[in-house]
Structure 1
């Protein structure tokens, strides 16, 4: 059953929509729209233009018709959400196998598969030679289960020590081997990873962080290793292919910097050459009820599957709050609060992140967009999120077709409420876009051939189409809806009140050219509206 709404016509009349025989004025987005994109919404290497130069020529070359569309095909049942009730602290505890005790050793980092990323090219080994003042070493947990407090009794105190208050300090890299499990539990009130000595954690087996706090730590200053500059080493946590990672009711802060696999908290398949050698499956795990702050990336994953990120807080992180990446699938990102990202977006999935759920999150006051679906990420559900006061768009889709946005509240964002670029078959159902500075829903195309985008890696088509059913587009600064050069647009049961700076509703793009026809069918006759090019109809007849 679709959600019920108040009668459409009274809402429109309340918004001062007046009909007449003459054409209504078209109010386009501000002329500075594309410049704002480049200055404020760029996600390198994808410089963004709000409106491509080719748009006007394409519009002149196409003639559009407005007709009624059958409503039956537009009526969708509310999407079925995944059952999240089983993702609990108790369920995580049940996964811990303590039957076989592990062992610990300290040995050199060289010739260790799990550490090759950090001792290879680009003088990365020099980082640890300098910080350890000699040939770099790491702690290895192997052969079974061990807690961090047990580990501290197995290795020299200069490498892992604790005080009477349950505060531990790690001064070497720590590796959980493929046949091992490590638990950092509530007995560890806080684990400081020494920035001075180059400490980090690599999980190559199973890692459980349950009720503890992990902090990147500057021992010289006796303070957290707060972010200073992108290239400065800070401790980090990485889980490789074939691993399981579970983080529950914990806090992690001041991790990560701008170097591969060292972003903060990363879940990643091995690099392509290593992946062939290791033969591991995709990594997985759960992060629930935890808090992440002052991270380069709050969460990053690469070729990861069935990972659950649930009921966490991501605040004041540097680049992204949550950033699933290349070829990850069946992710659940649910119930998180993501705010205060300093440089870019709150939540972004990018490059073939498919078949995933972004649901019931609160995403606000981030530097650019709240939620972004990017680079051919398809078959995702973005539903019931509250996305507000972000400094760019509320929800942005770049070159990502076949996605469903349902029941989102997108409010008071500095640019568009929902924005689509080069994306087709985008279904927008029961969304509320209110008081956004520019357009409530904005669709456009852009030719990216002349950018530094790798077209082979990230192909695109300059095509856009959408279906908008139900919901409300209310008091958005430049109008409720705008789309240029679409393959098609379908509208049904959409409530639209006037923008704050105009006494009446005005569409822009091709919708402005057909505004009277659209409103007559959709409002006066309460019918579904189909807008498509004349040539597409001719192709169907052929």
Structure 2
């Protein structure tokens, strides 16, 4: 059970008749594709006979209800992502070989030895020209590696416990399985060990640990730039982790963040023409990583049923142009620097569903930098130290049935994003606003505008659900392109004056409440300019 919000107070003496069924609606209705993600926007002109007022540059009007009605979104079938299904993917192809080669001029290692500074890292740790272990040709286990190499390179330190003192590379066409016969595969921090997957890597019913030999224990985080072992799975590879525990990987260097599933760099990708990487990480625990998970230009990755605990920068961080990700049934908490779950820079057509994200340094869930057509549904997001769910510059997304409770800033925050549909969510006990929408000019920040463009526009549809006991009020919307409200409960205000709106809504509160509460109609708040455009 997660901690119960301690600020959800339902106070007596409120006029619940006035507060409890606030109906919301309007003209930006999005259709869903067959996978439950948004795919188009339809603009419906408001009933011009019901425009009540045009002062303050906004009109408040009733709007058709039918375009706002939606079935529950269709969720992906998760039943096939099991340990048994992972085991069925393992090819026990004979002919596996273990060889040691110099790291220089190896395609799989180029990102880690391409500059003098990084090359010096391995020269210093290996005390000479750096070498790596290569798995080639077929199926190999840690026991096979230990038989093939001297203890100075790879040792079985106790039954089923192995210590790698060189980097390990799984080559194209090869398979490495760290299975239940391996109690722990340890990667020596002092000797500069790490793992690169360019083929098939399976970690099943086992452990993978970054190991500090001096302490005879995990290489726990000390400083951002201190080398720690890591795992990277390249373009064309497949990574499968199930029923395992992965501990203390990663540091502040490119592709060395912890567990990374990533296409090769653009120049290498153009030359190698590898398919996008993929994999499943299921029913496992990830502790004390620089990033608990990172991906870049990856497709169809599944993160299901994992625990991400006490990671440093992010718990889960899919990045640039990754597609069709499933992030489901994970528990993410204790992230020390930033967010629990974040998708950023054109991570599209994905599902973030049925996760718990709590007690993270900033937000629980973030949709960032032009990530579109995503479904964020049935998550429990609570007691984070900033917002609950945050959308930055990411339009055409659907939030459905989330519980956003007791976060230190806003419950749901939407910035510079349009066509955001917020259906059947509970946002309660947050210290600031239950739902906050705003625009912000990012031109004078360190943002690369060419890489990450933005428009200072925000529009939302809010339908169903409950806003309760939020410290600054239920709603605040600044400068919306349009806002549609229908059938939302607003209860338990923290202010003695009762329910009060901020932003544009505050100026038109009486009109909005008349439509929502007394007349039980859907409401559209729209700029006067938008009305003029529609008439033209």
What pairs with 1:267-346 in structure 2 (closer than 5 Å)? 267-346=261-340
For residues 423-463 of structure 1, the C-alpha deviation after alignment (integer angstroms, 9 at most, x for no partner) is 00000000000000000000000000011100000000000
Q: 1:77 aligns with which of 56, 71, 77?
A: 71
8 Å contact kept, 1:63–1:534? yes
Q: TM-score of the superposition, structure 1-length normalised?
A: 0.89
The answer to whether the 8 Å contact 2:18/2:517 transfers is no
1:249 aligns with 2:243: yes
Cα distance in 2 between the residues matched to 1:124 and 1:163 = 29
Within the candidate set 509, 512, 515, 1:515 is matched to: 509
Q: Choose from 430, 433, 438 the match for 1:436.
A: 430
Give 2:191's aligned residue: 197
The SS at the match of 2:110 is helix
Question: Is 1:367–2:367 an aligned residue pair?
Answer: no
Structure 1 unaligned runs (5+)?
1-10, 21-59
Q: Deviations over 1:69-112 (max 9, x none)?
A: 11101010000000000000110111011133311100100000
Distance in 2 separating the partners of 1:71 and 1:151: 65
Q: CA deviation at 1:524?
A: 1.1
Alignment check: 8 A CA contact 1:12 1:496 kept: no
Q: Which secondary structure state, in structure 1, belongs to the residue aligned with residue 515 of structure 2? A: helix
Deviation at 1:499?
2.5
1:195–1:235 Cα contact (<8 Å) kept: yes
- Quick one: structure 1 residues 409 and 19, their matched pair in 2 at CA, closer, same or farther if it must change by over 3 Å? closer
Bigger CA drift: 355-364 or 159-168? Answer: 159-168
Q: Matches of residues 51-62 of structure 1 in structure 2 within 5 Å? A: none
Q: Check conservation: 1:387, 1:395, Cα contact below 8 A.
A: yes
Task: Identify the residue that residue 156 of structure 1 maps to in structure 2.
Answer: 150
CA shift digits 1:395-450 (9 cap, x unpaired): 00000000000000000000000000000000000000000000000000000001
- Report the alpha carbon displacement of residue 277 of structure 1 after superposing the two structures with TM: 1.2
| Residue 531 of structure 1 pairs with residue 525 of structure 2 | yes
- 2:208 is equivalent to residue 214 of structure 1: yes
Separation in 1, partners of 2:182, 2:516: 62
Deviation track 1:129-157 (CA, whole Å, cap 9, x = no partner) reads 00000000000000111112122211222
Distance 1:19 1:118, change over 3 A: closer
CA deviation map 1:241-297 (0-9, x unaligned): 011000000000110000000000001000000101111011001000000000000
Q: What's the secondary structure of 1:129's corresponding residue?
A: helix
Of 121, 124, 132, which residue of structure 1 is paired with 2:118? 124
- 1:410–1:418: 8 Å Cα contact kept in structure 2? yes
> Which runs of 5 or more residues in structure 2 are unaligned?
1-9, 20-53
SS in 2 for 1:443: strand
Give 1:19 deviation, angstroms: 6.8
Q: Which segment is superposed worse, 98-107 or 329-338?
A: 98-107
Give the 3-state SS of the residue equivalent to 1:401 in structure 2.
coil
1:406 maps to 400
2:83 to 70, 89, 95: 89
Is structure 2 residue 95 aligned with structure 1 residue 101? yes
After TM superposition, the structure 1 = structure 2 runs for residues 380-459 of structure 1, keeping only pairs within 5 Å, are 380-459=374-453
**Partners in 1 of 2:101 and 2:153 — Cα distance?**
12
Listed as ranges, the matches of 1:233-244 within 5 Å are 233-244=227-238
1:15, 1:249 → 2: CA distance? 50
Secondary structure of 1:118's aligned partner: helix
TM-fit CA distance, 1:223: 1.6
Q: Secondary structure at the match of 1:338?
A: strand
Residues 387, 409 of structure 2: 8 Å contact kept: yes
Confirm or deny that 1:493 pairs with 2:492.
no
Matched residue of 2:513: which SS?
helix
Partner of 2:22: none
Question: Residue 479 of structure 1 contacts residue 498 of structure 1 at CA under 8 Å; is this kept in 2?
Answer: no
Distance in 1 between the 2:480 and 2:86 partners? 48
- Counterpart of 1:146 in structure 2 is 140
In the alignment, the residues of structure 2 paired with residue 19 and residue 382 of structure 1 have an alpha-carbon distance, to the nearest angstrom, of: 30
Q: Match for residue 131 of structure 2?
A: 137
**Matched pairs, number:** 493
SS across alignment from 2:449:
coil
Q: Answer whether contact 2:381 2:403 (CA < 8 A) is retained.
A: yes
Helix, strand or coil: the match of 1:446?
Answer: coil
1:279, 1:485 → 2: CA distance? 46
- SS in structure 1 of the partner of residue 100 of structure 2: strand
Deviations 1:206-235 (A, max 9, x none): 100001111111101212110000000000
Instruction: Judge conservation of contact 2:364–2:384 (CA < 8 Å) in 1.
Output: yes
Aligned to 1:16: 15
Change over 3 Å in CA distance of 1:61–1:183 after alignment to 2: farther
The RMSD of aligned alpha carbons is 1.6
